[in-house]
Structure 1
């Protein structure tokens, strides 16, 4: 009987250790606070846990693991297994995906942004570019066209942007520069203080970020239709960690991406955009709408020069820049038909 009990105990312990060994926990580095911009990551964590009966969990941290501009570095050294970052924060680290941040590409929906981003992410040159950081691109964080919230006198013509200090990253910053604005790149968490202190007079954000990071609290005006572009902010995973996952857990992760993105789009298009108009009205923020001629002039000044400069600079880096640009613009042209 004693021998039988010992064998039973050993078997139970062995099973417990095996179960523990199969459990996987990943740390995920985000920033700010939970908001529309992070809902696909939150949903992904929920789905992965459900599909693996809690054996694979994503522990999401908002700023506790890394600064947002250092998330790609953290991924590269395995400090955490998953992270979100924006390409415009460090264009030199991820030049291939900055094609998605070129101004006036003409993207008209979040779903179109997803399809275009995923196509770029799967391009061999892009895969190789991110592999330098031991990173695998998992999914985008699709955002609508950016517009400005600002303080002081509202610009009503393009010439009014001359000398205006604007928080704008990537291609949006380059576009603003063509009409005389002075773009400044800073992380989202720094923006409210910069606007309140007068370091910048306007901030380029998508609606959710204007609400989440408080630019609407002291903002006086908002541009409804400049629509210079958006930023591309992928979610990446450490490649070694991804490869080390058991097959069922890898399938749970990769197989949940589409559902997580569908949830994100629905959340953004309903809850976020439904709250945007009332947020402006409650604070008495003036809506500035530019004429079709003004918007066309802005596009003429910014789009072609920015694209040509991007192609030349990144061809010199050894990237198939023209091919990547043609991939993006070709998809947009095809979908617009």
Structure 2
């Protein structure tokens, strides 16, 4: 009898350890707080857990694992398995992706932004670029065209940006330089403090970030149609962690990407944009709209030189820069 009980106990313990062995937990490094920008990651975590009966879980951390500028570094050393980052935070670490941050590309929707991003992410040069960091790109965080919120007197024309300190990263920053602004790359988490302290006079963001990071709280104006471009902020995974997943867990993860992105887009185009106009109205923020001629001149001054510079710089790195640029602009032209 005792022998039978012992065998039963051993079997139970063995099953328990087997169950534990099947469980997979990934840590995910984000920043700020839950917002429109992270809704696809939230949805992905929900779907993965549902599909695996809780055996595969994504533990989302908003700032508890890493500084947002160091998320790619954390991925490279396996400090966590998944993270979100923005290409403009460290252009030298991910030069292939920055083609998507060139000014005035003419992207008109979040859906188009997703298609462009996935095409670039799947290009062999981009795969190799991120492989240097032991990283695999999972999905984009599509953002609409950026516009600027500022404090003080509203600009009457683009000439009024001369000497203005503007938080603007990547290609948007380069574009703002062409009209005399002084771009800075303050991180999203630090930008409200920088604005309140007068370190920056204006901030370039998508609508959700202006609301999430409080830049509209002391703002007096917002540009409605500057639309110089956007930033590209992928969700990335540690390649070793991805390769070590069981077939079931890998399918649960990869098979949930499309639904997660669809959820993100529906939320951004719906709840987020529905809240934007009232948020401006409640605070009495003036809407500034520039003439078509000024916008056309801005585009002429910024777009071609930025593209030429990007192609030259990245071709010198040995990247197929012209090919990447032609792919992106060709896709946009084909959908227009």
Residue matched to 1:226: 226
Alpha-carbon distance in 2 for matches of 1:269, 1:200: 29
Q: What residue number does 1:75 align with?
A: 75
Q: Structure 1 CA distance, aligned partners of 2:44 and 2:252?
A: 9
Q: Cα deviations across residues 206-243 of structure 1 (Å, max 9, x unaligned)?
A: 00000000000000000000000000000000000000
Give TM-score scaled by structure 1 length.
0.99
Matches within 5 A, 1:266-281: 266-281=266-281
Q: Distance in 2 between matches of 1:5 and 1:257?
A: 47
TM-fit CA distance, 1:156: 1.9
What is the CA–CA distance in structure 2 between the aligned matches of 1:146 and 1:55, rounded to whole Å?
39
Q: Does 1:161 align with 2:178?
A: no
Please say if 1:32 is aligned against 2:18: no
Aligned counterparts, 1:1-337, within 5 A: 1-336=1-336
C-alpha separation between the residues in 1 aligned to 2:248 and 2:156?
Answer: 56
CA deviations over 1:70-109 (Å, ceiling 9, x no partner): 0000000000000000000000000000000000000000
Structure 1 residue 186, shift from structure 2 partner: 1.1
What SS does structure 2 have at the residue aligned with 1:29?
Answer: strand
- Deviations 1:21-77 (CA, angstroms, capped at 9, x unpaired): 110000000000000000000000000000000000000000000000000000000
2: CA distance, partners of 1:301 / 1:237: 38
Q: Distance in 1 between matches of 2:158 and 2:205?
A: 19
Q: Could you state the TM-score of these two structures normalised by the residue count of structure 2? A: 0.99
Matched residue of 1:237: which SS?
strand
Shift of 1:158: 1.3
* Count of equivalent residues: 336
Q: What is the CA-CA distance between 1:7 and the residue it aligns to?
A: 1.6
Query: Unaligned regions of 5+ residues in structure 2, if any?
Result: none
Following superposition, the deviation at residue 2 of structure 1 comes to 2.4
